[in-house]
Amino acid sequence: MYAKSGSLAPDVDAAERIRVIHDISVPLRTGMVVYPGDPPMTMTRAMSLAVGDIANVSQMELGVHTGTHVDAPLHFFDGAPAVEALEP
Ligand SMILES: [Zn+2]
Protein backbone atom coordinates (compact mmCIF):
# COMPACT_ATOMS: atom_id res chain seq x y z
CA MET A 1 0.00 0.00 0.00
CA TYR A 2 1.54 3.31 -1.13
CA ALA A 3 0.57 6.92 -0.65
CA LYS A 4 -1.48 8.39 -3.52
CA SER A 5 0.75 11.45 -3.72
CA GLY A 6 3.05 9.71 -6.16
CA SER A 7 5.54 8.78 -3.47
CA LEU A 8 6.79 5.23 -3.48
CA ALA A 9 7.03 5.35 0.31
CA PRO A 10 4.67 2.95 2.05
CA ASP A 11 1.44 4.55 3.30
CA VAL A 12 1.68 3.37 6.91
CA ASP A 13 -1.68 4.88 7.89
CA ALA A 14 -3.49 2.98 5.13
CA ALA A 15 -1.75 -0.24 6.09
CA GLU A 16 -2.87 0.22 9.71
CA ARG A 17 -6.48 0.82 8.68
CA ILE A 18 -6.50 -2.46 6.77
CA ARG A 19 -5.51 -4.38 9.90
CA VAL A 20 -8.55 -3.21 11.89
CA ILE A 21 -11.21 -5.89 12.17
CA HIS A 22 -14.72 -4.74 12.99
CA ASP A 23 -16.83 -7.41 14.68
CA ILE A 24 -20.37 -6.90 13.40
CA SER A 25 -21.60 -10.27 14.66
CA VAL A 26 -25.16 -10.30 15.92
CA PRO A 27 -25.41 -12.06 19.31
CA LEU A 28 -27.59 -15.18 19.27
CA ARG A 29 -30.41 -15.14 21.80
CA THR A 30 -33.86 -16.61 22.25
CA GLY A 31 -36.48 -14.58 20.44
CA MET A 32 -34.05 -12.71 18.21
CA VAL A 33 -35.23 -11.48 14.83
CA VAL A 34 -35.02 -14.11 12.10
CA TYR A 35 -35.87 -13.96 8.43
CA PRO A 36 -39.66 -14.26 7.95
CA GLY A 37 -40.64 -17.93 7.80
CA ASP A 38 -37.33 -19.22 9.21
CA PRO A 39 -37.31 -21.32 12.39
CA PRO A 40 -37.12 -19.27 15.60
CA MET A 41 -33.91 -19.14 17.63
CA THR A 42 -34.19 -20.76 21.04
CA MET A 43 -31.57 -21.45 23.69
CA THR A 44 -32.36 -23.65 26.64
CA ARG A 45 -30.38 -25.29 29.44
CA ALA A 46 -29.87 -28.96 28.58
CA MET A 47 -27.70 -29.84 31.60
CA SER A 48 -27.29 -27.96 34.86
CA LEU A 49 -24.89 -28.12 37.78
CA ALA A 50 -27.77 -26.97 40.00
CA VAL A 51 -29.56 -30.28 39.45
CA GLY A 52 -26.49 -32.48 39.74
CA ASP A 53 -25.33 -32.65 36.14
CA ILE A 54 -21.59 -32.75 35.48
CA ALA A 55 -21.67 -29.35 33.75
CA ASN A 56 -23.90 -26.55 32.53
CA VAL A 57 -24.71 -27.18 28.88
CA SER A 58 -26.91 -25.02 26.70
CA GLN A 59 -28.88 -26.24 23.71
CA MET A 60 -29.66 -24.05 20.73
CA GLU A 61 -32.20 -24.59 18.00
CA LEU A 62 -32.06 -22.33 14.99
CA GLY A 63 -32.09 -22.20 11.25
CA VAL A 64 -28.65 -21.74 9.75
CA HIS A 65 -29.89 -18.49 8.21
CA THR A 66 -29.96 -16.90 11.69
CA GLY A 67 -27.81 -14.03 12.90
CA THR A 68 -24.43 -13.30 11.36
CA HIS A 69 -23.56 -16.10 8.98
CA VAL A 70 -22.25 -17.09 5.59
CA ASP A 71 -24.67 -18.27 2.93
CA ALA A 72 -23.23 -21.03 0.76
CA PRO A 73 -24.21 -21.23 -2.91
CA LEU A 74 -26.50 -24.15 -1.92
CA HIS A 75 -28.66 -21.62 -0.09
CA PHE A 76 -30.01 -20.43 -3.42
CA PHE A 77 -29.01 -23.09 -5.95
CA ASP A 78 -29.85 -26.80 -5.67
CA GLY A 79 -26.73 -28.87 -6.34
CA ALA A 80 -24.37 -25.98 -5.59
CA PRO A 81 -21.65 -26.38 -2.90
CA ALA A 82 -22.69 -26.33 0.76
CA VAL A 83 -20.76 -24.21 3.24
CA GLU A 84 -18.54 -27.12 4.33
CA ALA A 85 -17.36 -27.44 0.73
CA LEU A 86 -16.17 -23.84 0.50
CA GLU A 87 -12.50 -22.93 0.69
CA PRO A 88 -11.57 -21.04 3.89
ZN1 LIG B 1 -28.46 -16.73 5.08
Residue type, 38: D
Residue 42 lies in a domain: yes
- Alpha carbons 78 and 66: distance in angstroms, whole number: 20
Residue 5 lies in a domain: no
The predicted model scores a pTM of 0.59
Instruction: Please give the share of the chain, as a percent, with pLDDT higher than 70.
Output: 84
**How many structural domains is the chain composed of?**
1
- Alpha carbons 72 and 77: distance in angstroms, whole number: 9
Q: Tell how far the Cα of 19 is from the centroid of ligand 1, in angstroms.
A: 27
Residue 43 lies in a domain: yes
Residue 3 lies in a domain: no
- Alpha carbons 32 and 65: distance in angstroms, whole number: 12
Residue 48 lies in a domain: yes
Residue 7 lies in a domain: no
Residue span of the structural domain in which 67 resides: 27-85
Q: Tell how far the Cα of 36 is from the centroid of ligand 1, in angstroms.
A: 12
Whether 22 is a known active-site residue: answer no
pLDDT digits (tens, 9 = 90+) for 68-88: 988 899 999 999 999 899 887
